[in-house]
Amino acid sequence: MFSLESLTTLVQDWLTKTFPPLVALLFEFVIVGVLAIALFAALGLVLVLMERKVAAWIQIRLGPNRVGPKGIFQSAADTVKLIMKEGLTPDGADKFLFNLAPYIVMMVAMLVLAPIGFAKGFHIWDINIGVLYVSAISSVSVIGILMAGWASNNKYSLLGAMRSGAQMVSYELSVGLSVLSIIVLTGSLNINDIVLSQQNGWWIFKAHIPAIISFVIFIIAVTAETNRAPFDLSEAESELTAGFHTEYSGMKFALFFLAEYINIFIVCAIGATLFLGGWMPFHIGNWESFNHIMDYIPSFIWFFGKTFFLIFLIMWFRWTFPRLRVDQLLNLEWKYLLPISMVNLIVMTLVAIKGWHF
């Protein structure tokens, strides 16, 4: 079966044979950097178009279908437009912070790509605290948002950024607790280990009820974490404030916009890894022949398939549900999701200790 592992080993062998080890390492850095940026850009383009097409499908219309066959070059046209727009800096804005904010958000989005396993043996940095790393680095994006809101010198940006910041910080707790409930089962924070432990079935099926509750809470919490509807209060148009990125235009706005979509991809990737098995094909227990057939589908197709399914789910939410009011939003987290996830964690620990999972 086709596997990207052969490709990586091929490149690595060739590099170490031709160059001294340090230079080979530097070359690998450059290759990985270029691939990461390419993935960032490609994902951005694909996700923007996917959002518009999914929205159109739910709203019984067609979506972009003029630029290119079935509209596939729409994102490229949008990118060209955003690059050519004038990037205005407001008069009293703090220039350094104003310019820095989009880059911080983008850097965070790229850094979090590091430990994710895209295919078998195909990850940038298989660090042994993979999940903790993701959780920690994604918190830094809150700083980027607050920076953007503050540096705009606009009371409404600041209000929007504060609301956004409060929302993200609160929902990170629920995300953390639901992630923790799976870590309890695997016993390791290393992403590769987590995926390998799902060799005989995905965690959402093996650890039945507590994992399903965890999954539901995870999906709700990451929708809130990435400021997507129904929790997109800070970007709402028919409410008053237009959010922390009001004053941004041109390329800087494009960076915020892209970073939002990459964030969605990343949290869905984490969800797919933890609950749905990452790049592990769909195995059922010890049914050898069935598992062998499943293995014929390459692992990166499994990974991207699962991630895009979750992304579709999150996009579906946006076009179906109305917006929550800000007090209802925080109510939901502190009075409902957090207690439920804490109790769920205890139940999951019990399940793990007693071995009541498959």
Partner 1 sequence: MVEEIGKTAEGDLIINVGPQHPATHGVLHLVITLNGETIKKVEPHLGYIHRSIEKMCESLTYRQFIYTTSRMDYLSAHINNHACALTVEKGLGVEIPARAQVIRVLMDELTRIASHELWWGAMAMDLGAFTPFFYAFRERETINDIMEETCGARLTMNYMVPGGVMIDLHPNFQTRVKNFLKLYKQKIHEYDEVVTGNIIFQNRMKGVGYLSKEAAISYGVTGPAARGSGVSCDVRKLYPYEIYNQLDFQEVLETEGDSFARYMVRLREMNESIKIIEQLIDNIPEGDFQAKTKAVLKLPKGEFYQRVETARGELGVYIVSEGGTTPYRIKFRSPGFSNLSCLDHITRGGKIGDLIASMGTLDLVIPDIDR
Residues of the shown chain interacting with partner 1 in the complex, contacts defined by CB under 8 A: 55, 58-61, 155-156, 229-230, 232, 236-242, 319-328
- From the CB of 23, what's the least distance to partner 1, in Å? 54
Lookup result for tokens 């929205």: 55
The candidate with the shortest Cα–Cα distance to 286, out of 351, 355, 208, 358, is 358
Name the residue nearer to partner 1 (CB basis): 304 or 319. 319
Q: How far is the CB of 327 from partner 1 (least distance, A)?
A: 7
Residue (134 or 329) nearer to partner 1, CB: 329
Which is closer to partner 1, CB of 63 or CB of 176?
63
Least distance between partner 1 and beta carbon 351 (Å): 30
Q: Tell me the HSE value of 31 on the side-chain side, using a 13 A CA sphere.
A: 11
C-alpha to C-alpha distance for 202 and 310, rounded to whole angstroms: 15
Q: Toward partner 1, which CB reaches closer, 156 or 282?
A: 156
Nearer to partner 1, 196 or 242 (CB): 242
> Shortest distance, CB of residue 251 to partner 1, whole angstroms?
24
Tell me the two tokens of residue 89.
Answer: 């800096």
Least distance in Å: CB of 326 to partner 1?
7
**Smallest distance from partner 1 to CB 156, Å:** 6
- Judged by beta carbon, residue 80 or residue 240, the one nearer partner 1 is 240
Q: Which is nearer to partner 1, 162 or 297 (CB)?
A: 162
Nearer to partner 1, 216 or 326 (CB): 326
Give least dist CB 240 to partner 1, A: 5
Angle at 315 between CA 313 and CA 320, to 5 degrees: 95
- Quick check: 190 and 273 in contact, CB under 8 A? no
In this complex, which beta carbon is closest to partner 1, that of residue 122 or of residue 316? 316
30 within 8 A of 148, measured Cβ to Cβ: no
Q: For the CB of residue 242, give the shortest distance to partner 1 in the complex, in Å.
A: 7
| HSE-up of residue 258 (Cα within 13 Å, Cβ side) | 30
What residues form DSSP beta bridges with 122?
119
In which residue are the tokens 């139940």 written?
347
Q: At its nearest, how many Å lie between partner 1 and the CB of residue 75?
A: 20
